[in-house]
Structure 1
């Protein structure tokens, strides 16, 4: 599987750790998920209903030659696993060209080596986040 450099590095970091420590790394991504910019105050974002926690996201696709993507995700602090997945996607996809975001395999979450550390339902939530990001990027390119 070919991943953008940032996502490949994140996957390598997870897989380099023993299984118990992978969850700790996920929680670090949770801590590093930035708050939404003030311009999104009062703006309705798309809810990722597959997530057990209230997760909302949107993307912006620039009009530059690469159609650079900016990802914005919010998840509650009381849901550190979900926030961690959101942080992985924010860090791994933000500022990439649209084509690179669209080329990320849908099963990317399974490459993190977390299948025994988190529930399948949580992995499904991360897969849904990725799917929504990709759909929003594709819609921006078409529109």
Structure 2
């Protein structure tokens, strides 16, 4: 488990990448993450009803967290469905996938609530879009908490 306010190493690396860039270039990095979001596996692509919608997002995005095991050491796997024509939303999903996939339930549940602000995109991305990323993270944390029995 990480201590309060700290980020697990994979997510901290993503945040560091954003912070190391001048603000105008951060949008390009966000777009790079949108292109790197993995496709849904067949079990979800053929059954989209198994994914949870994130209504806080301006674009249609759906997600599901799979949890193997119970308790804080349970391992998570994340899956997202976001349209290519919504690169900002897709980029946020790509960031969350890169930074959280494979972490333990305890690490995900213990994340601080300011992850989207730490990316340094507040000047370039509207607050409404940033709330969408917070909505994705909140749903991931709730699903992980429920499935891991935390």
TM-score, with length taken from structure 1: 0.96
Match runs of 1:1-143 below 5 Å: 1-40=5-44, 41-44=46-49, 45-63=51-69, 66-142=73-149
Q: Kindly state the Cα deviation for residue 64 of structure 1 after the two structures are TM-superposed.
A: 7.2
Paired residues, number: 143
Cα drift, residue 38 of structure 1: 0.3
Per-residue displacement from partner, 1:2-50 (whole Å, max 9, x unpaired)? 0000010100000000000000000000000011000111241100001
Task: Structure 1 unaligned segments of length 5 or more: list them.
Answer: none
**Gap regions ≥5 residues in structure 2:** none
Secondary structure of the residue aligned to 1:59 is strand
Distance 1:137 1:64, change over 3 A: closer
Q: Once superposed, what is the RMSD of the aligned Cα atoms?
A: 1.3
